[in-house]
Amino acid sequence: MRPLGGYLDLILEPLEELRVKVRPLKRSSRAIARIPALQPGPIRTLYTLSSSEADRLLRAARARYKVDLQTATEEAQEAMAGGGFGSAEENRRVEQAAVAYVRKYFRDYGWAVRDVSSTPCGYDLECRRRRDLLHVEVKGTRSSGQKFILTRNEAETWKCDKHFRLALVTSVFDRPNLFQFRGPNSFAKIEARPIAFVCGAKRV
């Protein structure tokens, strides 16, 4: 605690963070639903729980988190298939169709477009219009879902490049629809979860 005017400012640091909604937990377990602190009433900053209630709630939340994480992984893998992440040929066709669509879109709006996808810059297209500059990373999916695979280099570029724009083309072979994420602040609008790791033995 620290003094704050005539009050004490209480600073709490979480020991563990589980991003699980309480309502589904209450629906899944009568024991959770009966916890007094979870009953309907005024919203508070702090709630009183007994040790047994806290233990019961944490165990249920951790179990739900594992289920949600597995679901997210399966959805990401499904999105990979929908986004052209199957065979090399499918991947190439989806990518080419998405880039062609985005290139035409910006050119129609008066931008000069240059393909820089062969360089390790973290985006596919450099677009210029008078003094304006955009670094556009293109993603495409065969389905209508707004899910895509992002490399670490692309993510780092997105978070620090003020000219960055991610252009997502869904249903690229059917009825293309363009979604744009503008600038580093827009990275907070997506939920990114790892689905793979590059691993190697540690050197002792």
98 and 183 together in one domain:
yes
Print pLDDT tens along the chain (204 aa). 556 566 776 666 666 556 677 788 888 888 888 888 888 888 777 788 888 888 888 787 776 655 455 555 555 555 555 454 566 788 789 999 999 999 999 999 999 999 999 888 989 999 999 999 999 999 998 888 888 888 888 999 999 999 999 999 999 998 999 999 999 999 998 888 887 777 877 776
Number of folded domains in the chain?
2
- Domain carrying residue 51: 17-82
Q: How many residues does the chain have?
A: 204
Q: Are residues 99 and 60 in the same domain?
A: no
**Pair (95, 185) in one structural domain:** yes
Task: Count the Cβ atoms, other than its own, within 10 Å of residue 147.
Answer: 18
CATH number at residue 118: 3.40.1350.10
Is 11 inside a domain boundary?
no
For residues 29 and 67, membership in a common domain is answered with: yes
Whole-angstrom CA distances from 105 to 99, 178, 182 are 10, 9, 16
CA distance 137 to 143: 19
* Residues 176, 97 share a domain: yes
